[in-house]
Amino acid sequence: MEKPPELRENGTPPAVLSNAEIADRLSGLAQMLSTQKENPYKVKAYHRAAARIRNLPDSLDEMVRHEEDLTRFSGIGTGIASAIREIVKTGTLAKLERLRGEATPAVAELSGHPRLDPKRVLRVYKKLNISSLAELRERIENGEIEKIFGSRMAQHIRQGLTETHAMLLYRADDLRELIEEFLLNACRVRRADVAGDYRRRVEVIEELVFVIETDDFPKVIERMQRYGGRTPLIEAGADHASFALSSGLLLRLQRSADEDWGFHLVACTGSKTHLKKLTAATVPLRELRSQSFTSEKMLYRRFGLQYIEPELREGYDEIERAKTGTLPRLVTAKDIRGELHAHSLSSDGVDSIEDMAQAVRERGYEYIGITDHSQSLRIAGGVSVGDLWQQIRHIDKVNRRLRSFRILKSSEVDILADGSLDYPDELLKELDYTVCSIHSRFALDKIAQTERLLRAMDNRYFNILGHATGRLLLKRPGYEVEIERVIDHARQNGCFVEINSSPDRLDLSAENARRAAAAGVMIAVSTDSHSTGELELVRCGLDQARRAGLQKSDTLNSLPWSKLQRLFRR
């Protein structure tokens, strides 16, 4: 039986809602609920569902109209499914509207900013006696919030107020996969290869670029506009189109024929500088385009160049080196023999030393260094002098039972404000090596911060500098430091630096890692794992290392322990 189309409350026929619009309402509700005394798990569940929905290719609106089961998507339970049905049928949620109606304008305004935590913001409102986002913006700009509430709060608010379109590279993995599938299945393209920043493994990206092969480009454009219910088309030409994805990223499609595949991949992958240097060394882009290259290798070979790995196409010296056949052989996962930065239950990790050791053994590693936090870092469960002595004895005991594997006695030692290390020398000398990091006083000026690091490196028990600038991508810039001086001092003192593989750190940056390697300072690619599940994040650090042009011989943890041991004795 034909059902009459349902009408919105005001009598207009319902328009199709995009998944993004549905997600906005769910996160709006989460925001309003969190100002009430609602169960925080429920609030989180709404936020999580909203984030998940933003990436989905299928139109939820359509699914609701066809009475399909929404709970088959992870993160969508029966409660959220019925909320989605209500949104599609009425354009909103009665509960959201009611809560908004009851709330003060200051609170209602927050429902549109899902990245701000209402509870924290309301605390600021109360203390500063303000009541709008405009005022909040003003107080963040003039530094008042940082002064009164500290840097964490300032960070949170700054991030919540920015309408950023950027995304951490590793957050885009799912989205890339979903879009690729959609292109191949729903849009019926014959071939789709991701290119752009994503392929170069740039740590923060703003767009996804695909090179695609299709006979019917207009149809692809039409279908793509229905991704997630509705995905606005920004511009289109005969062989390219751009869309605004609801996650905030830009999606760019480049159509290519099979015989031009190599050209388009090269043109869509390289950075601007890379392409400039490439065309300077070969022929102008227009001429390149008029020739036929079915693969990238073919294009590079035609001009006497070695194949250049995507991670290197940034416009440093890769073109000259490709010409002379001297490109680096980039480090790979197979080269890694151990983990040098990992936490356990002794500080803020969630797994025992034994479980961490077992997990890296299963990865085929030969050693793991246990680097729990040192005594001063109380918020992260810093280990007291007495407890570290105990841990040392415990590891010795465990090691006696192990064959062809070794747990290294270590610590992530805080570098204190004056540049001294957080344990006495007679304890430090019992460790196999140290990772030394800054976790406090980020606001010191550049000179003072640099001096602090140099002083710390003067201690003969300083081995590896942990997360060299303290940056958190899309959250806070690192502390200011004269990196050249730090690298130079590391070289003179036989110290090392790490690439911290945590996807929101990736610190050293590729640029700084390149500098360190050029100065002859070896680099540890470490995960800073706080659980066994994080050990696989080494792939993110390796991407970064490859972007820096690092080879196996530049990578500290590609050495066996017997060699490392000698390097760590200063």
Q: How far apart are CA 376 and CA 373, in angstroms?
A: 8
Among 247, 410, 437, 450, binds Zn ion (CB under 5 A): 437
Q: 311 or 412: whose CB is closer to Zn ion?
A: 412
The least CB distance from residue 377 to Zn ion, in Å, is 8
Q: 140 or 464: whose CB is closer to Zn ion?
A: 464
User: Which DSSP letter does residue 231 get?
Assistant: -
The least CB distance from residue 136 to Zn ion, in Å, is 30
What count of other Cβ atoms lies within 10 Å of the Cβ of residue 195?
Answer: 21
Applying CB under 5 A, the span of 44-52, 272-280, 435-443, 554-562 interacting with Zn ion comes to 435-443
Q: How far apart are CA 12 and CA 89, in angstroms?
A: 11
Structure tokens at 437: 């990091």
Q: 305 or 436: whose CB is closer to Zn ion?
A: 436
The interface with Zn ion within residues 501-540 (CB under 5 A) comprises 528
Q: 268 or 336: whose CB is closer to Zn ion?
A: 336
C-alpha atoms less than 13 angstroms from C-alpha of 305 in its C-beta half-sphere = 20
Contacts of 400 (CB under 8 A, 6+ apart): none
Among 193, 412, 414, 534, binds Zn ion (CB under 5 A): 412
Closest residue by Cα to residue 530 from 348, 300, 277, 383: 348
Applying CB under 5 A, the span of 37-45, 99-107, 386-394, 407-415 interacting with Zn ion comes to 407-415
Q: 438 or 487: whose CB is closer to Zn ion?
A: 438
Site size for Zn ion, by CB under 5 A? 3
Residue pair 407/398 in contact (Cβ under 8 Å)? The answer is yes
The least CB distance from residue 474 to Zn ion, in Å, is 18
C-alpha 273: how far from its chain's center?
24
Q: 207 or 528: whose CB is closer to Zn ion?
A: 528
Q: 288 or 380: whose CB is closer to Zn ion?
A: 380
The least CB distance from residue 507 to Zn ion, in Å, is 10
The least CB distance from residue 530 to Zn ion, in Å, is 8
Q: Which SS3 state, helix, strand or coil, does residue 326 take?
A: coil
The CA-atom distances, in angstroms, between 147 and each of 131, 153, 155 are 19, 10, 12
**H helix runs in 36-91, sequence order:** 40-55, 60-65, 78-90
The least CB distance from residue 567 to Zn ion, in Å, is 21
Residue with tokens 């590279």: 169
Q: Rule CB under 5 A: say whether 500 interacts with Zn ion.
A: no
Q: 412 or 543: whose CB is closer to Zn ion?
A: 412
Residue pair 478/469 in contact (Cβ under 8 Å)? The answer is yes
The least CB distance from residue 486 to Zn ion, in Å, is 16
The least CB distance from residue 467 to Zn ion, in Å, is 6
3-state helix, strand, coil in the chain (%, to 5): 50, 15, 40
Structure tokens at 536: 């696989």
Q: How far apart are CA 108 and CA 28, in angstroms?
A: 9
Residues that bind Zn ion (CB under 5 A): 412, 437, 528
